[in-house]
């Protein structure tokens, strides 16, 4: 029997190359060998969003990127978290078996408290419980994620073990499967590439925008002047060449070390690589965006199929927990 994959991503709108290399690319490949379920987690987004007016549009833009990148609604279930409300029911039930101390110790919770001290909401504490509910509602065993999600996956395993100990076996223990590039660094050369850090390169941007954007990137800080020798091993632009110019790595490293090319040249080579790689994606995206009602149909069909599984699991959980 095929294993079952589940993964989720917050509706951050148009996706960037970090999302693609760090997640979407792996989601697409896994469709060959697993039953796959991919979810846009709009409820999770509410833990950090105070202004939700872009949520709908961002969800649609994100699905366009997923579809253009090769997620196939014929092969996978693609849906929006809130369209299958059983996840909220399961979240509440799992919250009863999750010690508060576990949740208060999660590193991402502590980070969020620092980032949004004015909005330390209850949902933020329960974030990993909702994530566990996502996974186990569909009895998924294989969870492709980037490195930043590993603590949440550990928590999911702990919650499942505790549930099994208290009420018996319903859920498989989910295992994280690190994606091919589990940590893509942003254009600031320091932090994870993300929209909120404004250090990203959007997949759907035009070639000109992409080139402009890459020109703003930080490079090797030791290269102050054009003739200074560079150190590719510490330069994030060089690490991005691994993905976009894999055949030219030695040549680019030698030219950088010998100052035969400057950082602007190096960024232009990267931009060319990114634009070349993304050209078919961008064409597909524009084509899918033109099909009237298509994205809504994908969401509706995904929710319908996800719901069939969710209903069965909730029934089983309630029975095991002895709910009358
Ligand atoms: P999110 O929305 O932050 O990111 C979605 C996925 O993309 C990966 N990722 C990256 N990987 C490498 N480099 C980057 N710069 C980069 N940026 C993002 C993330 O690791 C993640 O795999 N809590 C989750 C969403 C979630 C979920 C789930 C995931 C909710 N329920 C159940 C798995 C299973 C999140 O906020 O991901």
pLDDT of residue 238: 95
Rounded Cα distance, 191 and 194, in Å: 8
Rounded Cα distance, 237 and 264, in Å: 11
Ligand 1 atom nearest the C-alpha of 185 is 15
267 is catalytic: no
pLDDT of residue 220: 85
62 near 15, Cβ under 8 Å? yes
Q: Which residues of 74-93 are buried (b: 16+ CB within 10 A; e: fewer)?
A: eebbbbbbbbbebbeebbeb
**Which has the closest alpha carbon to 23: 235, 189, 200, 177?**
177
- Our CA angle for 113, 119, 125, nearest 5°, is 55
Burial class (CB in 10 A: 0-12, 13-18, 19+), 291: exposed
112 is catalytic: yes
195, 311, 315, 318: the catalytic one is: 195
| Domains recognised in the chain with CATH numbers | 4-183+292-321 (3.40.50.620), 207-286 (1.10.240.10)
14, 112, 177, 267: the catalytic one is: 112
pLDDT tens for each residue of the chain, 324 residues long: 889 999 999 999 999 999 999 999 999 999 999 999 999 999 999 999 888 999 999 999 999 999 999 999 999 999 999 999 999 999 999 999 999 999 999 999 999 999 999 999 999 999 999 999 999 999 999 999 999 999 999 999 999 999 999 999 999 999 999 988 889 999 999 999 999 899 999 999 999 999 999 999 999 888 888 888 889 999 999 999 999 999 999 999 999 999 999 999 999 999 999 999 999 999 999 999 999 999 999 999 999 999 999 999 999 999 999 999
């Amino acid at each position: 029997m095929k294993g079952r994959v589940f993964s989720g991503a917050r509706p951050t709108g148009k996706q960037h190359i970090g999302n693609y290399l760090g997640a979407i690319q792996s989601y697409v490949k896994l469709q060959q060998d697993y039953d796959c379920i991919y979810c846009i987690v709009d409820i999770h987004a509410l833990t950090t969003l105070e202004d939700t007016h872009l949520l709908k549009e961002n969800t649609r833009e994100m699905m366009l990127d997923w579809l253009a990148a090769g997620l196939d609604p014929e092969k996978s279930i693609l849906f929006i978290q809130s369209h299958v409300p059983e996840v909220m029911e399961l979240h509440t039930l799992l919250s009863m078996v999750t010690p508060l101390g576990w949740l208060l110790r999660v590193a991402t919770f502590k980070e969020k408290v620092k980032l949004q001290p004015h909005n330390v909401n209850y949902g933020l504490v329960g974030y990993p419980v909702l994530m566990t509910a996502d996974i186990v509602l569909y009895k998924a065993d294989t969870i492709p994620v980037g490195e930043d999600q590993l603590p949440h996956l550990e928590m999911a395993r702990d919650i499942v073990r505790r549930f099994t100990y208290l009420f018996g076996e319903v859920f498989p223990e989910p295992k994280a499967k690190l994606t091919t590039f589990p940590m893509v660094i942003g254009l600031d050369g320091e932090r994870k590439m993300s929209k909120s850090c404004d250090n990203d390169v959007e997949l759907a941007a035009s070639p000109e925008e992409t080139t402009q954007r890459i020109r703003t990137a930080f490079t090797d800080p030791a290269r102050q002047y054009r003739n200074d020798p560079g150190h590719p091993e510490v330069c994030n632009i060089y690490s991005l060449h691994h993905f976009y110019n894999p055949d030219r790595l030695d040549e680019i490293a030698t030219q950088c070390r010998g100052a035969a090319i400057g950082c602007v040249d190096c960024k232009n080579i990267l931009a060319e690589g990114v634009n070349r790689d993304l050209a078919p994606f961008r064409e597909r995206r524009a084509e899918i965006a033109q099909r009237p009602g298509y994205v809504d149909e994908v969401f509706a069909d995904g929710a319908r199929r996800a719901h069939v599984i969710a209903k069965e699991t909730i029934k089983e959980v309630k029975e095991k927990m002895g709910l009358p």
